[in-house]
Amino acid sequence: MTTIFHLSDLHFGPKFNTHLSELVLADTRAAKPDLTILSGDFTMRGRVSEYEQAQAYVAQLPTPVLTIPGNHDQPLHLSGLAERLTNPWRRYKQYIRSEVDTSLEIPGVFVVGVNSNNRIVPGGIWSNKQRAFIEREFSRARADACKIFVTHHHLEWNGKYRPFGTWFPTGQLEWLERLGVELVLNGHTHVPLTLRTAQGIVIAQAGTSMSGRVRHGHGNAYNQITIQPRALTVRIMGYDAGSDRFVERSAQSFPRRVPTQISVPGAAA
């Protein structure tokens, strides 16, 4: 079994909740997941001070860690306007990860993450270059690996007001299905969501784990994901003020689309 912690929308800066960040860190360290994934928005305004705090926090998480940037990780203040227009990801590359599109492989799992943001329009766009990267990277995955795609912007939405998400999501989901993707992870909306799409892909959307910018009655939350040979389970862990800890709010399991011959990591030959 593979365990993944999925955090999103940390938003270091105004409305950041240090206490919640410590609880999440303690949970992650106690669980010792096989992989920790952060799907963007490390900062609120892309300020250096916010990035320094985010860098220090990420360094404390269990490794390996896969990250991608969010729309708030570009400079979003007047003094950073020139940098936003000319080199919007310089600070992300300096403090978080040297590349904005990335991939990672662990036994039984292959993950590809891309930067879905744009310096001018709201975001949710994958360029032709990125699509080639996604296709090339997933082609390297073992046939029995669970393929996971990570993006900041959502492909589905279950809130009252819809923030800008992925452009042409149906076409993108159909394309990801052809690449063999089983699971999509995203953030952006601050609304937890788990579902299986018409294409058979499971979407696990994380809420904001440690920012006061919660939406539509949804509190702070993160996802715990377990991958087994025949099933994929997403647990939404929400903050409970009464017990002052994150507790399971929901758990949904989905049958995996796997080949007949399954190679289980660590199993005897």
Specify the higher pLDDT residue, 243 or 257: 243
Instruction: Dump pLDDT digits (tens) for 138-169.
Output: 999 999 999 999 999 999 876 555 567 888 88
| Burial classification of residue 121, based on how many CB atoms lie within 10 Å of its CB (0-12 exposed, 13-18 middle, 19 or more buried) | exposed
Residue 260 has pLDDT above 70, yes or no: no
Higher pLDDT, 77 or 236: 236
In tens, the pLDDT along 12-63 reads 999 999 999 999 999 999 999 999 999 999 999 999 999 999 999 999 999 9
Q: Which fold has domain 2-255?
A: Purple Acid Phosphatase; chain A, domain 2 (3.60.21)
Position 77 pLDDT exceeds 80: no
pLDDT for 269 equals: 31
Tens-digit pLDDT profile for residues 203-220: 999 999 999 888 777 899
Confidence (pTM): 0.91
pLDDT at residue 123 in the model: 82
Distance from C-alpha of 107 to C-alpha of 85, rounded to nearest angstrom: 40
pLDDT score for 257: 80
| Model pLDDT, residue 230 | 95
Give the residue extent of every domain in the chain: 2-255
- 13: which 2 tokens? 């800066």
Mean pLDDT of the chain: 91
| pLDDT at residue 259 in the model | 53
Question: pLDDT for 96-135, tens place per residue?
Answer: 999 999 999 999 999 999 999 977 776 888 999 999 999 9
